[in-house]
Copies of this chain bind each other. A is one copy, B any other.
């Protein structure tokens, strides 16, 4: 039974996953425009990808379309939302209440997607007690107690890289399984069931820089 499951369950490549939020975004726009149905051909033109890729991508998760008709926009939007886990709520804590941490806490867009920041943490006394859209900045020494008494799904690391690895491993030991890492390091976490998503801003800037120089 277990064997059968693992055999049937085809792993979906991260290349596909990376494209799903973009589909979700475009379908949201179509929805706003009042478009009811769309074919892979039309969508492909809008998004500058091949229609083949769209159909192939979607069929990793099931047949959401109908021959001769195309895809129902609102249905597909909902389905991709479910695939991405947007049908459930995710509580976020942010470690590092500097500008970046505060910026993340301020994004109302994340709330609309089901991601709710419930606390920020920092070590700087002048930040403790500060309130961002009703979200309080707490001292890091309260982290353990907070995590044990709240439902925390994601920890965003927006503190300096020097402490990132220690904090990350500590959070994992507290039972956190998902880390959104903005620190400029690759975290070394041995636990196998922890997912890490990196946002390396300086890497992104260097990529841009490469393309600038190449362009000249």
Residues of A within 8 A of B (CB): 14, 17-18, 20-22, 24-25, 83-86, 88, 90, 98-100, 102-104, 106-107, 109-110, 113, 115, 153-154, 177-178, 180, 184-186, 193, 195, 197, 199-213, 215
- With both chains docked as a complex, state the minimum distance between the C-beta of A187 and any C-beta of chain B, in angstroms: 12
- With both chains docked as a complex, state the minimum distance between the C-beta of A209 and any C-beta of chain B, in angstroms: 4
Determine if A207 and B100 form an interchain contact, defined as CB atoms under 8 angstroms apart. no
Interchain CB contact (< 8 A) of A201 among B107, B154, B211: B107
**A-B residue pairs in contact (CB < 8 Å), sample of 17:** A18-B203, A21-B203, A21-B206, A21-B207, A22-B186, A25-B185, A85-B206, A86-B206, A88-B213, A99-B100, A153-B212, A178-B208, A178-B212, A180-B205, A180-B208, A197-B207, A199-B199
Main secondary structure of the interface of A (DSSP, over half): helix
- Provide the bound-state CA to CA distance between A41 and B65, in Å: 48
- Provide the bound-state CA to CA distance between A200 and B202, in Å: 14
Known: A90-B209, A113-B205, A115-B209. 9 other contacts (CB 8 A): A17-B211, A22-B186, A85-B209, A110-B205, A113-B206, A154-B212, A195-B212, A197-B204, A197-B208
- With both chains docked as a complex, state the minimum distance between the C-beta of A7 and any C-beta of chain B, in angstroms: 17
